[in-house]
A and B are shown apart, each in its own frame.
Chain A
Amino acid sequence: MAGQGRADPRPLSPHLQIWKWHWTMAGSIFHRVSGVGLYGGAFLIGAWLIALATSPEAYAFVEMIAFSLPGQILLFLWSMAVLYHLANGLRHLIWDGPMIGFNPGLASLWSMFNFAFAIIGAAVIWSLASFY
């Protein structure tokens, strides 16, 4: 397991391919995937804020990208990632604090709920945002 040039001789975490896909596993993987996505997203939100402080021209440039089709798709995915990471993060806190939700049936349902919350929540936010 541990080879030459490793940071330390401990074995690595198991990679994706050794897991059987099921709701709780997908829930855990997507927590990490959405987290990494939000890491990138933070730099884009940061660009918006920096442009706002720079000049109207810089802001217009960022606005043009944000309101383009790829920009809108990216923002929709960002909002879904925020809602998923938020819901699943709350679940982590409930696991760690009151220690509720480890029963396999409930755990699977909870994972499904978090996915549904992210998708439906993002759709609701975007439709409200376009109406008001």
Chain B
Amino acid sequence: MTGLKILAGIACAFAFITLPYWANQGVMFLAGLALIEIIFALAWNLLFGFTGLASFGHAAFFAIGAYLTGYVLKAAIGIPFLLLILASGLAGAVVAAITGLVLLRRTTGIHLAIFTLALAEVLRLFIGYSTALGREDGLASIPRPVLELGFTTIQITSGNAYYWFICVMALVLGGLLWVICHGPFGRVLVSIRQDPERTAFMGVNVRGYRLTAFILSGGFSATAGSLYAPWAQIVTPETGHWIHSTQPMLAALLGGAHSFWGPVIGTLVFSVINYLTRNLIGLSEVVIGVVLLVIVLAAPNGIVGLIKMIRRRFFSTPGSSPAGTRS
């Protein structure tokens, strides 16, 4: 089974990397968007699926990264692009640290969800009123940057080049998140999700771990936003809209929130549905709604949970795969 999984992973990676050779510009744009949304969904799920905290305002972090990168690129200040991505991630992390320090003192559960939603909407309205950030029109015609690696410079100004850059970044960021989720730190997070009180009585500073997870999640979300700005070449307040906050949630629920790969699968499925229903205006929401309904009713643990269930039933492997820690 692990062999099959690795094979699927390689096939998927191959499809993404060779995509510019066999697909049109529109598909390539959606694929790049999907990779960015995958990072965003993974970052959100670090908080939800692993730590057990639901943020309903994560688009705010995404918007912070997107606007910072978009603004700096437009202003042509000359900051190296990799440094700009890092700065965007740090900006998201700092905002997460400040809000997390205040919110996570007492609130978890539904209160945290509502507070994050409200704060994100405040940020979006603020952006909408800010002339420097283009008000409701946002920042348009953002130039794609040049990658300065010290020993060489790579032009990623063309669509294809920037697409490959996204592929590499998705691999790096996704890999980093995978390591965080599967090491001792991730195991403590999964423990906190399952039973925070029990975990505190093992000697874990639960609040500290939750805050760290919140900061990491905010940082990675902002990094995803940072990659988005030069790809879409336009950043509007919609990136910070609560509807965008629901995207990683739906992806995680569809794919399976207790598995690392759940949000990845969920995002890909959503992207495919969006693409297939692109000409049926209004129908894509209906299809997504029906798919979600079926998944939630038939497989509360998402697609990954469904696969595990089928595997258990037909290949009768005993209940030995630890959900959450490995997948």
A binds B: no
Residues of A within 8 A of B (CB): none
